Structure 1
């Protein structure tokens, strides 16, 4: 627990992604798939049934050369806090297969409880959840390279980014063996954070002023964690989902796209 004003408070893990640094290389996507045993098919051309926990979108300002500009936006699960932990996906799951942890701020996914109703997919405004249509078939020999810390999902369940929660568990186990009750910022980092060659992804505890994510965002935790640092925003802020993934960009058109703002038409719904 972090000490604040004479009392302890739970952790709230989150991300800051600097869109001015992201080059769209896709290293975060590859690292996520390798770390979390994300299944794939031999033919991935049909994107309607492919699974990508971390997905990189390409945005443009819609202007011709030389005013044209491009931005790449990585999108993991937002791990929404919602209102007191009632995030959209958690609120609709009839099997309690997904839950919000008040100790870490992470939205979990328990595959053995999920029966594939996909209510959570319909409730998620970020399209961050994927239904597994097929039993995974790994190329010969590749099954020996799977991570032993992450269960391989069978068909018929919904899956998503977990902020590499198994790494948190491993770090906590190590801390307990060493007689510690806390872990350092460096001991728990997601695979996408470590794989990003541009250093665009930063991960840590948003409740800890010593962590870099807190210093970059300066979240107003008294008001649903809204960022107070300049040029920082969250996707679809107006929905009140209170996501714990923050974005940073010096470009105004990028920040407006984060809330699907169209000049002359006010704010509109999600664009696909």
Structure 2
């Protein structure tokens, strides 16, 4: 069983519990959506989605002392185009309250980074203030992926549809994904290779598709590599969470669009 399999098995239990305990729209409505797509497609530099995560299955504990709203404010002040909040508790030590707290502190779009397998998780993401949700092609059959994609769009949410290989990219295209995230980390082995983005991004010909490259960004040269292939945004987690100087880290990773 892979780590992804373990996470999805846990999500099945979580969703079953949610369906008993969570009542969609029981929370106060949040302000209007901030469009990640619009912001990134028009940006003059390669936009950065800066991530807040306390831990991960591959790296273990990263930073459990983080204060999400303070970290998010610092991200935004240093030029983050969007902020990703990992809300999975068992494997990443995140919570939906992290997302809610961040929503009240920043004006940039917020991505609910989780392993979504059911509509109720999308309802919850919207209720807690997400502007964008993540759907992972490797985690869902094509029919379910399409259904959840359409459900999220009907809720006026942007969808970052994540792929890692050619087959998943074909699925993303068939679903009509406007934002395709290419994960350089293999969710089955957790190995990272920026070459995955170079290979897959070259196969995305629609200029209106927003391409985001995820994982493995530590140096300016990493961003320059993927920029050559039409990438307009990068998702950076561990490098941000371990940074001792966020202003310098953002400066290093901020490169102009071609």
Instruction: Give me the TM-score of the superposition, normalised by structure 1.
Output: 0.32
Largest Rg, 1 or 2: 1
| TM score, norm. by length of structure 2 | 0.33
Considering Cα pairs closer than 8 Å and 6+ residues apart, tell me whether 1 or 2 has the greater RCO. 1
